[in-house]
A and B are shown apart, each in its own frame.
Chain A
């Protein structure tokens, strides 16, 4: 017997492509990713055979596009009542949360994979370090996964998708910049140094930049893994608490 996670995953992923929303999303993602790399990042002007200019903007791209994917994850199930159907099928809460999350992540992965022409371009123009590029893709995907896990938890907290979207953008934004003065200044005046350091170490950008430079450090992988696991765990708790509302 196949694991329910796989059945759920397939249903969800097929669900994305059953409506034009998926294609619109992928198109916008590709256009923005390319536009940012070429115009803001000065892809050609840099004269370097790498994808640094491309990956630098991914966190900012994800900041708005990932919440757009995640906002409906649970809010929609609750609004349409299908959550009652889903959770009375023989699946555990963990399987349901994981199946939905993995499908959303795979959807983002598909969008990300479709940026391959950029990779072809840079290989055509020069001889880049393809290992570093692969690391960049991995970092980018992990970052998207962490955003999605946050988004899926916050989507479970409300049945209003707009609220889910805004909350997710705000939380992701704060976590992105946790290592920067914008966030740290709010704490450094009064909080003990250990706490400030702790908050700084939560920063998405710090960990993402490390990976996207081509250095895959186990600590960065563990960081993203823990981030995803913790938010998904919270998501399961929130769904359980809020499902009847």
Chain B
């Protein structure tokens, strides 16, 4: 378990992290969301034991990161932002070094290295110096390093940044596969990622914790939640018919693709009414979808006020 209480970090005048508290239990994949400069990386650096908090405490499986840094660091696998690694080393040497430092030896050392190499598909580049590798491979070498000792706690700062869609998919599958009994914290500003891998999301902006919920709960905050989108050849007639429905609060037409979105009145299920309308009036609908909510919209709604407020502290 990770327990963070009243964590703050101040750089001179700037309060980068402002009194954040939360806890993460094994089995959870926690997504850290926030605009650039929100304090995500700073928080992760403090959990990983790189930066000392200005105030507050962090405990990793009962070990306070300040009081017992080594015990805590042994339990943590950390991928720093940008996946730094010593460029002149090959992935084989690099992983060997990490294994030595982590105290893995003998058969276990060989097995773990073979396992992560296999999992992250590093076989092809094992003996090529890291500085000559592509961004995707560098990121995977960084991930391999983080999971090498099969840590209880994984802190991954933007694990899929700079990867192509296939690689992103692989990394997400990897995270999901490991999630069962571990604590995983990832930071990202890719919202689809939260949906794909996280069981819980924390939104940070301006150093403050603004929301802590499951992705589905966040989506429910969206005005799109429960809305119905559809497209039809005869848009004006459809819009008029939708507006006449009792359950509809508002109808919008996307000026670009002509997609119609009907928003429900609070608490009223809209989809059955719309589908009945289509059936009864015989609209030729090409497409019909129930919206679960749009995370990007919720994200803006949560973080924009803080952004506008600026650095007034």
For the complex, give the distance between the alpha carbons of A50 and B86 in Å: 43
> Which of A1, A4, A90 has the most CB atoms of chain B within a 10 A radius of its CB?
A90
B101 & A243 in contact (Cβ 8 Å cutoff): no
Q: Spot the interface stretch: A6-14, A123-131, A158-166.
A: A6-14
Closest 3 CB pairs of A and B: A81-B84, A7-B100, A18-B88
Q: Which residues of B contact A2 (CB under 8 A)?
A: 100, 103, 105
B101 & A88 in contact (Cβ 8 Å cutoff): no
Interface size of B in residues (CB-CB distance below 8 Å):
31
B145 at interface by CB-CB < 8 Å: yes
A82 & B84 in contact (Cβ 8 Å cutoff): yes
A88 & B87 in contact (Cβ 8 Å cutoff): no
B89 at interface by CB-CB < 8 Å: yes
Tell me the minimal C-beta distance from B157 to chain A in angstroms: 9
Q: Which residues of A contact B49 (CB under 8 A)?
A: 87-88
Q: Which residues of A contact B80 (CB under 8 A)?
A: 81, 84-85, 88
Set B45, B101, B129: member contacting A7, Cβ < 8 A = B101
Q: Which secondary structure characterizes the binding site on chain B? A: loop
**Given A89-B102, A90-B102, also A84-B70 (CB < 8 A):** no
Which residues of chain A in 190-213 are interfacial with respect to chain B, using CB atoms and an 8 Å cutoff?
none
B76 at interface by CB-CB < 8 Å: yes
B56 at interface by CB-CB < 8 Å: no
A244 at interface by CB-CB < 8 Å: yes
26 contacts across the A-B interface (CB closer than 8 A): A7-B100, A7-B101, A8-B101, A10-B100, A11-B89, A11-B93, A18-B89, A18-B129, A19-B88, A81-B80, A82-B86, A84-B48, A84-B84, A85-B78, A85-B84, A88-B49, A88-B80, A89-B102, A90-B74, A90-B101, A90-B102, A90-B103, A91-B70, A92-B69, A92-B70, A243-B50
Q: Which residues of A contact B81 (CB under 8 A)?
A: 81
Q: Using an 8 Å CB-CB cutoff, how does the interface string of A201-245 with B read, 1 for contact, 0 for none?
A: 000000000000000000000000000000000000000000110
Q: Which residues of A contact B102 (CB under 8 A)?
A: 89-90
B98 at interface by CB-CB < 8 Å: yes
B88 & A89 in contact (Cβ 8 Å cutoff): no
Tell me the minimal C-beta distance from A241 to chain B in angstroms: 11
Set B50, B87, B101: member contacting A4, Cβ < 8 A = B101
Which residues of chain A in 1-54 are interfacial with respect to chain B, using CB atoms and an 8 Å cutoff?
1-2, 4, 7-8, 10-11, 14-15, 18-19
List 15 extra interface pairs beyond A2-B103, A80-B84, A85-B85, CB under 8 A: A4-B101, A15-B88, A19-B88, A80-B86, A80-B87, A81-B80, A82-B85, A84-B45, A84-B50, A84-B84, A85-B78, A87-B50, A88-B48, A89-B101, A91-B101
Q: Which residues of B contact A91 (CB under 8 A)?
A: 70, 101
Q: Which residues of A contact B84 (CB under 8 A)?
A: 80-82, 84-85
Chain B residue with the shortest CB-CB distance to A16? B88
Q: Which residues of B contact A81 (CB under 8 A)?
A: 80-82, 84
**Given A82-B85, A85-B84, A244-B51, also A7-B76 (CB < 8 A):** no
Q: Which residues of B contact A87 (CB under 8 A)?
A: 49-50
Q: Which residues of B contact A85 (CB under 8 A)?
A: 78, 80, 84-85, 145
Chain A residue with the shortest CB-CB distance to B45? A84
